[in-house]
Structure 1
Amino acid sequence: MANSKHAHLRYNILDEYFRKRAYSFEDLLIALNAALEIHYPNESISVRTLREDLKVFRDNINGFAAPLPEKARILKYSDSSFTIADKPLLDYEQYLIDAAQQLLQRFENHPKYDRLSEALLKFQEEEQKQKNDNINILFYDHNDEYKGIQLLKPIYHAINNKTVLTITYKGFKDKEVTTYTFHPHVLKEYNNRWFVFGFNDTKNIQNWSIPLDERLIDFTKNNDVIYVESNTDWHLFFNSMVGIVKPLNAIKERVVLRFYNGREEYFKTKPFHSGYDLFFEKDKKNQVWFDTIINRELVQQILSYGQDVQVLEPEILLIQVAQQIKSMNNLYNS
């Protein structure tokens, strides 16, 4: 029987390897252990465990029935479009999921259960689709092209294990790849994308952010550098602004917005700044205010309300929004 510890992680890693390139058994064992090291430091699997994993992949009855040739010296899917993500759950996987669902339901009255409940609904929806001819009940915002979610777990483990990373990065407008030493501290989700914040050791910059997408080409564990802890109060850091970009030496300013056509009610149900407040004066009932740093994400959120919002304060924000509107107008009247 295969080693059950981190089996699901191994299966996902192997699935990705078999789709992308060919490995010898020895090279595969080395690559797999290197990947596991990021999640489980100082742990590795044996030759026997890898052989058992390969049996699970090839098993047509109790496994994934993967197109992995039995006697080939090179390990690679003969059909590169195959992925175990499209296969039904194995029996013991279904058992573990059912057990986890029952355990989570014990926390139904816990203040944090809402997020657990949403996760359960998403999973149950996928199970019902398989049983009922792919009929959807729930529809979520989801970008199939977003690859950052695959980086989330290894980065999370790097933070949890206080692991220094060597980052290989290339921005969309960059001509060359950049490599630097990075101490990951926290992960932040914004606009359905994930970002990791930490200390850029190479540039000596705190609170450096890296998007988890195609720009993050690669990262490896750096054992030659001692991990540097963060002194940042991340709750205050993120509450000081909309989004994830904090301009250098930026300070918080009072922002006052006036809404039209009843749009202030929509803002209240999903505010882009959680620290907003209302005015007591009757003639200001359609206005809100909050203290925040002025950045690009704030301007974008304001513009999303179109003609139904007006910036009253501060003047610097009013000017930035007006400039954006003027530039947009020029696109359609040039």
Structure 2
Amino acid sequence: MPLNRNTLMRVRIIDECLQRRQREWTLEDLREACEKELLEKEGICGISTRTTQRDIELMRSDKLGYNAPIIVKNKKYYTYEDPDFSITKLPLSKEDLNELSSALEIIKHYNGFSNMSGQEDILTRMQDKIACQTDNNKVVYIETNNKLKGLNFLGPLFDAVKRKDALIIEYKSFKAKRESRIYISPYILKEYNNRWFVIGVSPQKEVKTLALDRIIEIRKDDNHKYVDNTVFNPEKYLNEMIGVTRDLESNVETVIFWVDANQTPYIETKPFHESQEVEKENEDGSKVFRIRIIINYELERKLLGYGSHIKVIEPLHLKQRIANELILAAERYRR
């Protein structure tokens, strides 16, 4: 099982402590050092002595490939037997290099990120270093469409988010007859269904969601200050829905839908939403599912995509909209 981020952070903190040989470190000293940094950086408190002991044993073991030569002097003080040892100096194994190479391929798959400041050069140098030490047989293939418009804006938008730059974006939606000028402080880059979106707020703190394929031009806004995000919690904002379409006043609703036996395995193994639960199992193999979600355009498209294999049960207003769309589709096929 992969180690969680907090464990790796504690291991790094212990390593940094043991490298500082100008002082001696008791188990309690190491525990306090971990607790202090995790409280400051992650808001995590209450690290136990037993947790620190387990971290030290983990470092001594081969599980992470460290085999750290940690000894106890005078039955009290922890130190590295080799004064030059550090977990940061250990070479990567061939397995590590192969996994890192695959990860880099996935990162470079998103071609739009090649414009991020300094990132392309770093990725290229890393791949050159790794290539001579690993086999280069490609394993991971990700669905992509290099003809998608707007991918060239990914890098500049990423940099703007990191630098906290206010932007002026020339934009033309599919329904608009002419382009418009939008002032935005960008917070999030979101990919959905092979399309990219930037989400942020206007100087008046109105939430803006812009599709990158409708952007014409981006430039820095020198007349407005960047608006720090006090408007919404990005993770909560996105997790409450499928896709990107919503407003702050949207309420989470309970959606209940029936799925026939043919499609049930697919929807069970690839849930519509993280809140999905089985409400009822029927003898014919069909099931009734429940999700808690913002009802939006993307959810409706997803439900409609399953045609007759799905039937919305609740809420009534969603059931009626889906039914009306299917009736209209059937009428068009009869013409």
Instruction: Place the TM-score, normalised by the shorter chain, in its bin.
Output: 0.5 to 0.7
The one-letter amino acid paired with 1:258 is W
Deviation per residue, 1:36-91 (Å, 9 max, x gap): xxxxxxxxxxxxxxxxxxxxxxxxxxxxxxxxxxxxxxxxxxxxxxxxxxxxxxxx
Deviation per residue, 1:15-50 (Å, 9 max, x gap): xxxxxxxxxxxxxxxxxxxxxxxxxxxxxxxxxxxx
1:239/1:275 contact within 8 Å kept? no
Counterpart residue number, 1:119 = 106
The one-letter amino acid paired with 1:153 is G
2:257/2:314 contact within 8 Å kept? yes
Tell me the secondary structure at the aligned position of residue 173 of structure 2: coil
2:169/2:215 contact within 8 Å kept? yes
> Residues 210 and 315 from structure 1, CA distance in 2 versus in 1: closer, same or farther, beyond 3 angstroms?
same
Distance in 1, matches of 2:185 and 2:246, equals: 19
Tell me the secondary structure at the aligned position of residue 189 of structure 1: strand
2:281/2:287 contact within 8 Å kept? no
Counterpart residue number, 1:319 = 320
Counterpart residue number, 1:191 = 193
Larger Rg: 2
Distance in 2, matches of 1:219 and 1:210, equals: 12
Counterpart residue number, 2:268 = 268
Counterpart residue number, 1:181 = 183
Deviation per residue, 1:141-177 (Å, 9 max, x gap): 2223202222111101100000000111111231222
> Residues 104 and 306 from structure 1, CA distance in 2 versus in 1: closer, same or farther, beyond 3 angstroms?
farther
Counterpart residue number, 1:236 = 236
Counterpart residue number, 1:79 = none
Distance in 2, matches of 1:218 and 1:278, equals: 46
Q: CA RMSD in A?
A: 3.5
Counterpart residue number, 2:216 = 217
1:222-301 matches, within 5 Å, as 222-231=221-230, 232-247=232-247, 249-279=249-279, 286-301=287-302
1:165/1:222 contact within 8 Å kept? yes
> Residues 116 and 105 from structure 1, CA distance in 2 versus in 1: closer, same or farther, beyond 3 angstroms?
farther
Distance in 2, matches of 1:276 and 1:166, equals: 39
Q: Using the TM superposition, give the Cα deviation of residue 281 of structure 1 relative to its aligned residue in structure 2, in angstroms.
A: 5.9
Which TM-score applies when normalising by structure 2? 0.58
2:253/2:294 contact within 8 Å kept? yes
Counterpart residue number, 1:77 = none
Q: Unpaired segments of 5 or more residues in structure 1?
A: 1-101, 128-134
Counterpart residue number, 2:17 = none
Q: Using the TM superposition, give the Cα deviation of residue 263 of structure 1 relative to its aligned residue in structure 2, in angstroms.
A: 1.2
Distance in 2, matches of 1:309 and 1:148, equals: 34
The one-letter amino acid paired with 1:324 is E
The one-letter amino acid paired with 1:209 is T
Tell me the secondary structure at the aligned position of residue 279 of structure 1: strand
Distance in 2, matches of 1:155 and 1:121, equals: 17
Distance in 2, matches of 1:136 and 1:104, equals: 16
Distance in 2, matches of 1:224 and 1:120, equals: 34
The one-letter amino acid paired with 2:209 is S
Deviation per residue, 1:179-212 (Å, 9 max, x gap): 12111011111001110000022xx353210111
Which TM-score applies when normalising by structure 1? 0.58
1:260/1:308 contact within 8 Å kept? yes
Counterpart residue number, 1:78 = none
2:259/2:286 contact within 8 Å kept? no
Counterpart residue number, 1:304 = 305
Q: Unpaired segments of 5 or more residues in structure 2?
A: 1-91, 110-122, 129-136
2:261/2:287 contact within 8 Å kept? no
Deviation per residue, 1:262-291 (Å, 9 max, x gap): 312101222221221123666697111011
1:104/1:116 contact within 8 Å kept? no
1:164/1:227 contact within 8 Å kept? yes
1:184/1:197 contact within 8 Å kept? yes
Q: Using the TM superposition, give the Cα deviation of residue 118 of structure 1 relative to its aligned residue in structure 2, in angstroms.
A: 6.3
Taking every aligned residue pair, what percent have the same amino acid on both sides? 28
Distance in 2, matches of 1:271 and 1:165, equals: 36
1:41-190 matches, within 5 Å, as 106=96, 116=103, 119=106, 139-190=141-192
Counterpart residue number, 2:71 = none
Distance in 2, matches of 1:278 and 1:228, equals: 42
Tell me the secondary structure at the aligned position of residue 206 of structure 2: strand
Deviation per residue, 1:77-109 (Å, 9 max, x gap): xxxxxxxxxxxxxxxxxxxxxxxxx69964989
Deviation per residue, 1:234-285 (Å, 9 max, x gap): 1111111111100563211110111113312101222221221123666697
The one-letter amino acid paired with 2:224 is V
